[in-house]
Amino acid sequence: MTVHFPFQNSYSALPDSFFARVAPTPVAAPRLIKLNRPLAVQLGLDPDLLETPEGAAILAGKTVPAGADPIAMAYAGHQFGQFVPQLGDGRAILLGEVIDSDGIRRDIQLKGSGPTPFSRRGDGRAALGPVLREYIVSEAMHALGIPTTRSLAAVVTGEHVIRETALPGAVLTRVASSHIRVGTFQFFAVRRDTEAIRRLADHVIARHYPELVGAERPYHALLAGVVARQADLVARWLLVGFIHGVMNTDNSSISGETIDYGPCAFMDAYNPSQVFSSIDEMGRYAYANQPRIALWNLTRLAECLLPLFSDEQEKAVAEAQDILGAFSDQFSAAYQAGLRRKVGLFTERDGDDALIQDLLDAMAKNQADFTLTFRKLGDAAVDDSADARAQFMEPATFDEWAGRWRARIALEPQGATERQVAMHAVNPMFIPRNHRVEAVIQAAVNDDNYAPFEELVKVLAEPFEDQPHYAAYADPPLPDQRVLRTFCGT
Ligand code: AMP
Ligand code: MG
């Protein structure tokens, strides 16, 4: 039996300027490291067949499955504020699209599958470490309920890639509701190709915002839709302590999914100005800057859409500004509502926002662990505050705050257990802590040992369950385990 991919490709039917047709470059000795079996089933693929050597060859780009129409997508982008008119898939190839069991169209893309016309000076390859990082973190984000690209498989290629040293090469099979980015629009905008922008916008509306088909002003509504999804997405990031690390416009998805896991990381101790990425020297993409940057990226998208809004430039700009103006309120509403759930409030009262801000301020001052403080606060709803207060350098700071919090929750009719259950449903026990991710990568790269990777992936699949047997995975790093810098490894 051969592996059957039920491809129904739509992007490769768009005009030739949207992509380059290019096949993956075969690799020496593909070996499957990980297959996401439930995701395979969701995509209508046979997981048993994907686990055969023939399946691994496909997932490594060694053979192209029937029905695939491999392309590298064209895009531009602002990288750290600097505009680059041509980026594109330099090391990724879109095999095609399938309709999943929920009826949603999904891209199946190989990342690290060889050079393309967009590779510039790059080798088109990926190293094993970053592939495992993306696999772990993207699947963790999905389990946390955050819109994200998914990881279907990781294979090692049997070849080395040269970075600072020679490293094992790998290919990630990435699944996304599409790989269309703000930078895709920018690619055509800088070329003043308004017809291409219209084609792209129509494709995006049909694919990601079908409710807008036939709307009176569809392109305005599209911008409003992307603004709303990005506002919600960034709020969700902040609520779990996620730092994307490279929020360039080419890494900003039009569908509202988290995309392009490079030097991303979850913070341990709460610190609004936290940065991990080694290349983010100015802190442009620091934790608390992410909403501002999302709006900046959306403003770049709006600029691309202006020609579709109106022939009168001034009118178009005013309309765009009006739509972008909704971002702040939408973000704040999602973020504040999320924080209220995190501290276990069922109702809304004056003073709540200040109470929550006081907790965050105390956490920052006391280097309290972001994840554990909220998780243990859920337990404090039924029990004493011992575990929560232990997160604070000066536990008395917490005690003062907790007194006010207890007085506030006492005003609500919900019982202690109900509150704990509600809080545990939004405050994860387990996040992909940096030191754990690094340890897993080291075991794989240095010792060809994937057992730690398997275990971490398994624990992170149920982040809201206590999983007492794996309690150590919830622990913050010891001082000598702290990972302060992450690298994109490209
Ligand atoms: P990223 O930092 O992964 O978002 O990539 C930014 C741009 O650089 C994209 O156009 C990538 O396709 C390209 N790129 C990154 N790494 C490589 C590589 N090893 N070979 C070719 N192109 C790459
Ligand atoms: Mg990218």
Instruction: Report if residue 5 sits inside a domain.
Output: no
What percent of the chain has pLDDT above 90?
97
For the segment 356-381, what is each residue's pLDDT rounded down to a tens digit? Answer: 999 999 999 999 999 999 999 999 99
Tell me: do 362 and 488 sit in the same domain: yes
The alpha carbons of the chain give a radius of gyration, in whole angstroms, of 23
Tell me: do 97 and 200 sit in the same domain: no
For the segment 68-117, what is each residue's pLDDT rounded down to a tens digit? Answer: 999 999 999 999 999 999 999 999 999 999 999 999 999 999 999 999 99
Closest CA to 264 of 249, 252, 275, 248: 275
| Residue 250 falls in the annotated catalytic set | yes
Show which of 150, 179, 208 is a domain's final residue: 179
Closest CA to 419 of 391, 371, 383: 383
Tell me: do 329 and 372 sit in the same domain: no
Angle, helices 326-342/218-240, rounded to nearest 10 degrees: 30
Distance 110 CA to ligand 1 centre (A): 13
487 pLDDT band (50/70/90 cuts)? confident
Tell me: do 33 and 134 sit in the same domain: yes
The dihedral formed by the CA atoms of 444, 445, 448 and 454, expressed in degrees to the nearest 10: 10
Whole-angstrom CA distances from 27 to 123, 446, 461 are 13, 21, 31
What percent of the chain has pLDDT above 70?
100
For the segment 445-460, what is each residue's pLDDT rounded down to a tens digit? Answer: 999 999 999 999 999 9
59 pLDDT band (50/70/90 cuts)? very high
Show which of 314, 336, 358 is a domain's final residue: 336
Which protein residue has the closest C-alpha to ligand 1 atom 11? 90
Tell me how many domains the chain contains: 3
Which protein residue has the closest C-alpha to ligand 1 atom 13? 90
Angstrom distance (rounded) from CA 50 to CA 36: 10
231 SS3 class: helix
Closest CA to 288 of 247, 345, 343: 247
Whole-angstrom CA distances from 196 to 3, 72, 207, 220, 467 are 35, 17, 16, 17, 51
1 pLDDT band (50/70/90 cuts)? confident
Tell me: do 232 and 280 sit in the same domain: yes
For the segment 143-166, what is each residue's pLDDT rounded down to a tens digit? Answer: 999 999 999 999 999 999 999 999
Which pair of tokens denotes residue 315? 């009118």
For the segment 119-133, what is each residue's pLDDT rounded down to a tens digit? Answer: 999 999 999 999 999
Instruction: Report if residue 1 sits inside a domain.
Output: no
Distance 466 CA to ligand 2 centre (A): 35
Instruction: Report if residue 386 sits inside a domain.
Output: yes
- For ligand 1, is residue 262 a contact (CB within 6 Å)? yes
Tell me: do 280 and 364 sit in the same domain: no
Task: State the sign of the Cα–Cα–Cα–Cα dihedral 228, 230, 236, 238.
Answer: negative
pTM tops 0.85, yes or no: yes
Instruction: Report if residue 190 sits inside a domain.
Output: yes
Tell me: do 212 and 286 sit in the same domain: yes
Whole-angstrom CA distances from 385 to 19, 101, 120, 155, 389 are 56, 44, 56, 45, 6
389 pLDDT band (50/70/90 cuts)? very high
Q: In a mutational test of the pocket of ligand 1, which residue from 91, 123, 182 has the highest number of ligand atoms less than 8 Å from its CB? A: 91
Distance 91 CA to ligand 2 centre (A): 10
Angstrom distance (rounded) from CA 225 to CA 256: 9
Tell me: do 163 and 206 sit in the same domain: no
Of the residues 100, 107, 250, 280, only one is catalytic, namely 250
Distance 172 CA to ligand 2 centre (A): 14
Characterize the bridge pairing of strands 166-176 and 71-73.
unpaired
Angstrom distance (rounded) from CA 293 to CA 284: 8
Show which of 301, 336, 371 is a domain's final residue: 336
- Give the structural domain span for 269: 183-336
Tell me: do 99 and 247 sit in the same domain: no
Instruction: Report if residue 4 sits inside a domain.
Output: no
Q: What is the mean pLDDT of residues 322-332?
A: 98
For the segment 198-245, what is each residue's pLDDT rounded down to a tens digit? Answer: 999 999 999 999 999 999 999 999 999 999 999 999 999 999 999 999
Angstrom distance (rounded) from CA 49 to CA 56: 9
Instruction: Report if residue 325 sits inside a domain.
Output: yes
- For ligand 1, is residue 117 a contact (CB within 6 Å)? no
Element (H, E) at 72: strand 71-73
486 pLDDT band (50/70/90 cuts)? confident
Q: What is the mean pLDDT of residues 289-293?
A: 98
Q: What is the mean pLDDT of residues 15-35?
A: 97
Whole-angstrom CA distances from 340 to 240, 294, 371, 408, 422 are 13, 23, 15, 12, 11
CB 153 within 8 A of CB 35: yes
Q: What is the mean pLDDT of residues 332-356?
A: 98
A 10 A CB-CB count for 163 gives 15
Please tell me the predicted confidence (pLDDT) of residue 488: 73
Tell me: do 331 and 395 sit in the same domain: no
Angstrom distance (rounded) from CA 444 to CA 83: 36
Instruction: Report if residue 3 sits inside a domain.
Output: no
DSSP structure string for 346-408? -S--TTHHHHHHHHHHHHHHTT-BHHHHHHHHHHHTTS-SHHHHTTSSSHHHHHHHHHHHHHH
Tell me: do 167 and 188 sit in the same domain: no
Whole-angstrom CA distances from 22 to 57, 91, 106, 206 are 17, 11, 20, 26
Find the ligand nearest to 118 CA: 1
- pLDDT score of 490 more than 90: no
